[in-house]
A and B are shown apart, each in its own frame.
Chain A
Amino acid sequence: MFELLTSGLAVVFQPVMFILLIFAVFLGTLFGALPGVSATMAVTLAIPFTYKMDAVNAIAFLVATYCASITGGGMTAILFKIPGVPSSAPTTYDGYPMAQRGEAGKALGIQLICSAIGGMFAAFCMLLLSPQLTQAALSFGPAELFAISFMGLSILTSLETDNICRTIISGLLGLLLACIGLDPLLGVPRMTFGTRFLTSGIEMIPVMIGFFAVTEVLKQTQKRSELKAVGEVAQMKTEMPSLKELLSVKWTIARCAILGTVIGILPGAGATIAAFLCYSTEQKLSKYPEKFGTGIIDGIAAPETGNNAASGGSMVPLLSLGIPGGNAAAIMMSALVLKGVTMGPLLLVNQPQFLSATFASMLVSNVIMVFAAIIIARVFVQVLKIPYSILGPTIIMMATIGAYATKNTAVDVKLMAIAGLVGFVVVTCKFNSSALILGLVLGVICESNLRRAYTIADGDTLMQVTLNILSRPVTGVIMIVCLIVLLNPVLKPLLGKLKKSDKATV
């Protein structure tokens, strides 16, 4: 472990890399703070910066951007009641009332410290858990790997519980898109409709850039949201919390750091779910639940610790199993695949520097982030004065550079533009673009592992082979968990309705 730590620090403390890391933290914090730029979009826009880096430096850079953007989102949540990133939404409940009372600086201080603690805790968990999970995964066959990646898909129904049917459709569309191109086992063109353009499949990075960056600008073009700050924030100064204040929320921080990391590790669940869950858990456990939402530091500490811990947790399945824990991790995975890195359990066995660099990057960026956020908070209002008429098109140009640099071909720029338009239609029809991307990323992993499992397993008919696969203990247990997770949000309201009708008849 000490070796991993030193080799990781050696990567991030290379002079050029360290400067790039500071840049990544500023970039991430700024992107996260800007409303309309999500953490996923921040990572997407950071991709072009990594094209000339080697894979280890690239993951360190992207991780720093991701961690910082999650923290940056909390700043707008506190000052403007508009979450910069979706995972900062619960921060508005108590952050904004504090800002209204003139305690914005204190709220920002708590937010920064808790974010840093959550991020660093998750980094240590990642360092401890990833090698263990890798060791376990090395004994896994394709059936188990399919079950784990299917778990990422089963969480789809929990992504948007009010809209389960559309979320499932979005996920299935993503899975279908992943089928386009050469068949992963036979190598024959599939669903290419006779065009050469589709033979290599749907290129993930331009599609993700289109969905997360271009669609957002188009949405803002249609209806722009205006920002209104509370009080006098032109000269915002961050006030670090006192030791007494920090100690008063120590159990909140501890619980949310653990909960956030666990949620982050689950494939598919991400920082947003972690933040909401941490907030509601703390409210339930609190001695003064009625004060939540009125502007108390517990209400900021819980979501901010949770969402940063989840961002670290999401790196565990990515590094140890090659399965992304969320959209941002999916983008990082695509960026690594583009560099020729083979994701999967063997990654950390053959190249442990990926784990050490990610860990060191998370550790260092969480420290730099505190200083970066303090500096950014001072000029925050000026930064937000950048009109969207300048910011919007600049985002599209950066996205274009990112898409073009994938393979130095204009086809990817066109694909990005088309994906942006499709993404807009998807959003307009209330489908879930995150589910679609999750399906697209996990589709190939799921299919190739499942089909390999069928090829290896014994049996004369497809049914026999299926039963043989499901009778493997790890696969069976995970698939049962998947079914429960998948069906729970669907069956819960139905059962509720049944109970109500029963009561009515009685």
Chain B
Amino acid sequence: MAIELIVNALLLVFSLFCFFYVGATMPKSPVNELGAEQWPQAILILLIISIVWNLRNYFKRNAHSDIVQAFKNIFPDLIQFFKSKLFLGMIMLMVMAWAYEPLGFLATSILFLIGYGILLGERRPWFLAVTVLVITLILYVGFSVFLGVMLPRGYVPFLRQIALFLESVFQHL
């Protein structure tokens, strides 16, 4: 409940900022033409009106005491969120996205599939290990070998060597 209000308020501030930012950074347009700044500004005006209307609906929908209570609970809720599987999943996703190129496809895929699998409650280590290896290999062979889609080999020398070795194996096959 509180997050909805915060997101709407942030959107409103951002829209107001963008409205003036676009006007200040774009070249002046002729009086009889639609300039580069006018289209986004028109969208922003509608967006600001809609957000204000949405905020009005929010306050109409929720009782004042409920909103106050939601803000009182915001810190316990945040602590709960940081402890949740969802937050861990989000962290894993971001780490995977940033590690994808440096570590390469093979290492990232294996580590991510194991990590996220455990996060989602997979408790059979052998099943997980075998499945992860099979899936990684299927994805690698399917996309890289059969479909010719480029997958990153990684910058780490050891991991890059493995990727190159696999590539040469499949090339010989």
Q: Which residues of A contact B (CB under 8 A)?
A: 48-49, 51-52, 165-166, 168-169, 172-173, 175-176, 179, 183, 185-186, 188, 190-191, 193, 214, 217-218, 221-222, 224, 387-390, 392-394, 396-398, 400-401, 404-405, 408, 410, 413-414, 416-417, 420-421, 424-425, 428-430, 447, 450-451, 454-455, 459-462, 464-465
Pairwise interchain contact B50-A165, C-beta atoms closer than 8 A: yes
Q: How far is the CA of A171 from the CA of B83 in the complex (A)?
A: 33
Q: Is the interface of A mostly helix, strand, loop or mixed?
A: helix
Pairwise interchain contact B113-A394, C-beta atoms closer than 8 A: yes
Contacts A186-B27, A218-B89: A169 and B50 contacting too (C-beta < 8 A)?
yes
Is B70 interfacial (CB-CB < 8 Å)?
no
Pairwise interchain contact B31-A460, C-beta atoms closer than 8 A: yes
Pairwise interchain contact A190-B40, C-beta atoms closer than 8 A: yes
CB distance from B75 to the nearest CB of A (A): 18
CB distance from B141 to the nearest CB of A (A): 12
- Produce 1/0 per residue, B100-116, CB < 8 A to A: 11000100110011011
The tally of CB-CB contacts under 8 A between chains A and B is 182
Instruction: For A465, list chain B residues within 8 Å (CB).
Output: 32-33
Indicate which residue in A179, A389, A397 contacts B39 across the interface (CB closer than 8 Å).
A179
Indicate which residue in B32, B36, B121, B147 contacts A51 across the interface (CB closer than 8 Å).
B147
B131 to chain A: closest residue by CB: A390
Is B3 interfacial (CB-CB < 8 Å)?
yes
User: 4 nearest interchain CB pairs?
Assistant: A417-B97, A393-B116, A389-B120, A410-B101
Pairwise interchain contact A172-B46, C-beta atoms closer than 8 A: yes
B26 to chain A: closest residue by CB: A190
Indicate which residue in A185, A398, A451 contacts B139 across the interface (CB closer than 8 Å).
A398
Q: How far is the CA of A169 from the CA of B56 in the complex (A)?
A: 14
Q: How far is the CA of A173 from the CA of B90 in the complex (A)?
A: 23
CB distance from B100 to the nearest CB of A (A): 5
Instruction: For A414, list chain B residues within 8 Å (CB).
Output: 97-98
Instruction: For B27, list chain A residues within 8 Å (CB).
Output: 186, 188
Instruction: For A460, list chain B residues within 8 Å (CB).
Output: 31-32
Q: How far is the CA of A288 from the CA of B31 in the complex (A)?
A: 63
Q: How far is the CA of A176 from the CA of B119 in the complex (A)?
A: 36
CB distance from A147 to the nearest CB of B (A): 15
> 30 A-B Cβ contacts within 8 A?
A49-B143, A51-B147, A51-B148, A165-B50, A168-B46, A168-B50, A169-B11, A172-B43, A172-B47, A175-B43, A176-B44, A183-B26, A190-B36, A218-B90, A218-B93, A222-B84, A387-B122, A389-B122, A390-B135, A398-B139, A400-B96, A401-B143, A401-B151, A404-B100, A414-B98, A425-B7, A429-B8, A460-B31, A461-B31, A462-B34
Pairwise interchain contact A218-B7, C-beta atoms closer than 8 A: no
Q: Which residues of B contact A (CB under 8 A)?
A: 3-4, 7-8, 11, 15, 18, 21-22, 25-27, 31-34, 36-37, 39-40, 43-44, 46-47, 50-51, 53-54, 57, 84-86, 89-90, 93-94, 96-98, 100-101, 105, 108-109, 112-113, 115-122, 128, 131, 135-136, 139, 143, 147-152
Q: How far is the CA of A408 from the CA of B101 in the complex (A)?
A: 10
A189 to chain B: closest residue by CB: B25
Pairwise interchain contact B33-A455, C-beta atoms closer than 8 A: yes
Q: Is the interface of B mostly helix, strand, loop or mixed?
A: helix
A180 to chain B: closest residue by CB: B40
Contacts A176-B43, A390-B131, A393-B116: A428 and B50 contacting too (C-beta < 8 A)?
no
Contacts A172-B50, A221-B86: A400 and B7 contacting too (C-beta < 8 A)?
no
CB distance from A286 to the nearest CB of B (A): 38
Instruction: For B54, list chain A residues within 8 Å (CB).
Output: 165-166, 169
Instruction: For B93, list chain A residues within 8 Å (CB).
Output: 214, 218, 396, 417, 420-421
Q: How far is the CA of A175 from the CA of B45 in the complex (A)?
A: 12
6 more CB-based (< 8 A) A-B contacts, given A165-B54, A176-B40, A401-B105:
A169-B51, A169-B54, A173-B47, A190-B25, A396-B93, A462-B32
Pairwise interchain contact B85-A222, C-beta atoms closer than 8 A: yes
Please indicate which of the listed interface residues B15, B36, B44 has the most CB atoms of chain A within 10 Å of its own CB: B36
Q: How far is the CA of A417 from the CA of B91 in the complex (A)?
A: 10
Pairwise interchain contact B3-A429, C-beta atoms closer than 8 A: yes
Pairwise interchain contact B36-A188, C-beta atoms closer than 8 A: yes
Instruction: For B120, list chain A residues within 8 Å (CB).
Output: 221, 224, 387-389, 392-393
Q: How far is the CA of A480 from the CA of B85 in the complex (A)?
A: 49
Instruction: For A190, list chain B residues within 8 Å (CB).
Output: 22, 25-26, 36-37, 40
Q: How far is the CA of A214 from the CA of B92 in the complex (A)?
A: 12
CB distance from B102 to the nearest CB of A (A): 8
Indicate which residue in B31, B36, B148 contacts A462 across the interface (CB closer than 8 Å).
B31
Q: How far is the CA of A224 from the CA of B86 in the complex (A)?
A: 11
Indicate which residue in B25, B136, B148 contacts A52 across the interface (CB closer than 8 Å).
B148
Q: How far is the CA of A139 from the CA of B9 in the complex (A)?
A: 45
